Amino acid sequence: MDLTEASDDELRNSMHAFEAALGALHQDLEPPLCSRVLLALDGSNQDAASEGLAHALTERTGARLEVWRAGGQDERAADLILERANALNADLIVLCAPFRDDFSALGSDSVGTHLDLLMARSPHPMLVIRDPALASPRCFERVLLPIVLRSSEQQAAAAWALRAVAPGGSIGIVAVIDEELVRRAAWLEGDADFASLSEEELAGLREPKNAGLIAAVQRYASREHLGCSVRVRQGEVVPTLIELAGTGPHIVVVPCPRDPAQVEFHRVQSLVRASSWPVWIV
């Protein structure tokens, strides 16, 4: 039936919004404790920026900052950083990934062997500095939090986003719909209704877990007088995030599985490679 002034799709989307509010899984989201931070320096031109960012964070959180410096071309740098972080029981590692270096010889996704290893092995979240010219403490004013479907680290990433954001700053939750994936899924499912799904549904924002997560972040942002917006974008995930972050200053807080076999691991690698802004890997 044609309602002329209100379509069936609009009705269904509105209902799904209320159903999401009803089914949202309640999550108590608080920023995690950040009392020990390990700053790993490698003598590169990114050291000063890394220090600046680490100091800004520790001053705000009251965390203790320990600096570790790599000795020349230390091939065991990743292991040494990890050993130090474990010994310190660090809540966060701040380190840099070579910026404007050519990683192509290391494969299509690599961000340098040390960081590749740390991404796969480190139980500690990592704040990865990229372009030193852009890594200023102002980055903490705008935190970008991508929603990754079926990620077991999503809630932790959201909690760290709350920790990362500076007072008075804002958190931008972003859900990216990969059109190609949606088309393939629609074809595989043979489901004609895919076309009528709203952006929010396609992006998974109506799923109880994500709806609850959004509610928790919004509630926290409201309480702490932070800005918070939820945006849905269509396109390939990494270029879309880079485009959004392009207007910076930003920090991108992203959940990442520790298993290199997972697609999401490679996506985070691609994000770090493509990003000029610091990336907080949880």
Partner 1 sequence: MPLLEEVGHAAAAADPAGAGPLATTLIGLVLVATFVCIAFEWLHKTLAALCGAGLAVILALVFGVYGGAGYDAVHGFVHHDLSVIGVIVGTSILVAIAADSGLFHFLAVKIVKATGGRPTLLLPAIFAATLGFVTFLTIAPGVLIMSSLVLVITKALDDDPKPYILAVAIGANSGALMTFASGIPTLMIGTSAGIPYVHFLMVSMPLALLSAAIAWLVVRLVYAKSLAAGASAEVRAIQVAGFDEWALVRDRKLFVRAVLILGVTIVGFALAQTLGVGLDFVAFCGACLALLFSGLEPDKAIAKVKWSVVLFFVGLFILIGTVQATGLLEVLAHGIHDLSGGSTTIAILVVVPFVFVTAGIVDNIPVAATMIPVAKTMIAAGITAEPLWWSLVAATNLGGNPTPVGSIAAVIALHALDKERGIKIGWGEYLKVGGLVTVLQIVLVLAYIHMFRTLGLFPSL
Q: Which residue from 121, 78, 173 is spatially nearest to 281, judged by alpha carbons?
A: 121
Query: Of these, 85, 129, 202, 228, which contacts partner 1 (CB under 8 A)?
Result: 228
Q: Whole-number minimum distance, CB 4 to partner 1, in Å?
A: 6
* Binder of partner 1 out of 86, 152, 196, 222 (CB under 8 A): 222
d(CA 161, CA 94): 15
* 253 lies in the binding site for partner 1 (CB under 8 A): no
| 48 lies in the site for partner 1, by CB under 8 A | no
Specify burial of residue 170 (Cβ count, 10 A radius: 0-12, 13-18, 19+): middle
Tell whether residue 259 is a contact of partner 1 (CB under 8 A). no
Contact code string over 198-217 relative to partner 1, x by CB under 8 A: -------------xx-xxx-
CA distances from 217 to 96, 171, 247 (A): 28, 9, 22
Binding to partner 1 by residue 227, rule CB under 8 A?
A: yes
According to DSSP H, which parts of the chain are helical? Answer: 8-23, 47-61, 77-88, 113-121, 154-164, 179-189, 199-202, 208-223, 237-245, 263-274
Strands 126-129 and 279-281: antiparallel
Phi, psi (rounded to 5 degrees) for 92: -155, 145
| Residue 11 in contact with partner 1, rule: CB under 8 A | yes
Q: What share of the chain is helix, strand, coil (3-state, %, to 5)?
A: 45, 15, 35
User: Minimal distance in Å, beta carbon 203 to partner 1?
Assistant: 12
Q: Which is nearer to partner 1, 4 or 73 (CB)?
A: 4
Minimum distance, C-beta of residue 134 to partner 1, in the bound complex (Å): 23
**Cβ closer to partner 1: 56 or 215?**
215
87 belongs to the binding site for partner 1 (CB under 8 A): no
Q: Which stretch binds partner 1 (CB under 8 A): 18-26, 61-69, 75-83, 158-166?
A: 18-26
Nearer residue to partner 1 within complex by CB, 34 or 213:
213
Number of residues that bind partner 1 (CB under 8 A): 34
Q: Identify the CA nearest to 16 among candidates 27, 28, 4, 24.
A: 24
DSSP state of 104: G
- The verdict on 29 binding partner 1 (CB under 8 A) reads no
The answer to the question of residue 30 lying near partner 1 (CB under 8 A) is no
Hey, what are 28's tokens?
Answer: 């108590």
When binding is defined by CB under 8 A, the residue of 230, 237, 251, 272 that contacts partner 1 is 230
Q: Is 179 in the site for partner 1 (CB under 8 A)?
A: no
With tokens 């952006």, the residue in question is 199
- Under the rule (CB under 8 A), what is the footprint of partner 1? 1-6, 8, 10-12, 14-15, 17-22, 24, 26, 211-212, 214-216, 218-219, 221-222, 227-231
